[in-house]
Amino acid sequence: EAGVTQFPSHSVIEKGQTVTLRCDPISGHDNLYWYRRVMGKEIKFLLHFVKESKQDESGMPNNRFLAERTGGTYSTLKVQPAELEDSGVYFCASSQVGGGPGANVLTFGAGSRLTVL
């Protein structure tokens, strides 16, 4: 079974530019989550999709961040315009919907490292 795939693995951009991160969850996983870790800090929740709907976006830091999941498959996280403090590692995770052991287990991608200069 393919895992959660994130692209790009590393992106270096200048302040004010735009970056789009992509996450391909495990096939059939309706739950999709975005997390991020900024330098020296803990991993923080950003938002949660169930299929194409945003279930919880309370962790999104501000309106420069836009997450989409059209069709309920892959998801993108766009940062526009990027600021220095957006630098960090952005993780995507997915899980099954419903009861049973699989629904409780998040599978994480390797992360996308964003560096804003």
Binding site for other proteins (CB under 8 A): 4, 30-31, 33, 35, 42-45, 48, 50, 55-56, 58-59, 91, 93, 95-99, 101, 103-111
CB closer to other proteins, 58 vs 70? 58
CB closer to other proteins, 9 vs 80? 9
The answer to whether 63 and 76 have CB atoms below 8 angstroms apart is no
CB closer to other proteins, 80 vs 110? 110
Report in angstroms how near the CB of residue 38 gets to other proteins at its nearest.
13
Beta bridge partners of 37: 89
Nearest to 105 by CA among 91, 94, 90, 116: 94
CB closer to other proteins, 72 vs 81? 72
Contacts of 103 (CB under 8 A, 6+ apart): 31, 95, 96, 97
15 φ/ψ angles, rounded to the nearest 5 degrees? -50, 135
The letter for the amino acid at 69 is R
